[in-house]
Amino acid sequence: MDDIRSFDVKSLRKVKTSVKTVDGRQFVEVRDSKGEPRIVSTPRFDGSMGFVPDLKPDLQVGEVIPGLHIGSQDAAADWCLLQSLAVTHVVNAVATTVPNFHEGRGLTYLALELLDLPDFTLTRDTIHKVCDFIDEALSSGGSVLVHCNAGVSRSCALVLAFLILRRGMDLREALEKARTARPVVRPNDGFLRQLRELQKNMRPSTQSPSS
């Protein structure tokens, strides 16, 4: 017990952790004094994935609130699926690697490029641009699909930001709604930290009722 009382956290060595993401990117990560992850090397791609890939298309789309959906790039590419969901607007969070598949078919796109890295910043401008886009679509009777590559981290982070800012939800409630709609969603630790700060520092900019 005396050893525990006299233990000094400062005596711990900093440990570097090699991380390989599911899409094959590798980088070295350390934790700062607050326990937050920080990348200390340039992400690189070794040409292989960090898992045995399931080559079946992921066409499961989750409707988080009426008219607002989360999905993968597979769902975004499937025209028949989009028609069945009456999708009119698409937020493409990975526009430099995944095209706006059906831009010539009357869908309205918001093209972004977000990196699924813990230290990638979701800027205020990006968040409000997404929120305005979704709000305008829903208020006109439209239906929105928000997608990234896997429909797990980036797309979910954007939807959570919308629910916090425009529907007045706290992060826990918003995340519960998203996971009920699409159980695989899981924003990375850096996105979750930024969403907590968003909830803490910003008031809802619209008094829309929670759906």
> Which residues are catalytic, by number?
148
Largest CA distance in the chain: 71
CB of 164 closer than 8 Å to CB of 41: no
- Please tell me the total number of residues recorded for the chain in this structure: 211
Q: Say which residues have a Cβ less than 8 Å from residue 106's Cβ, sequence separation at least 6.
A: 88
Contact 159, 64 (CB under 8 A): yes
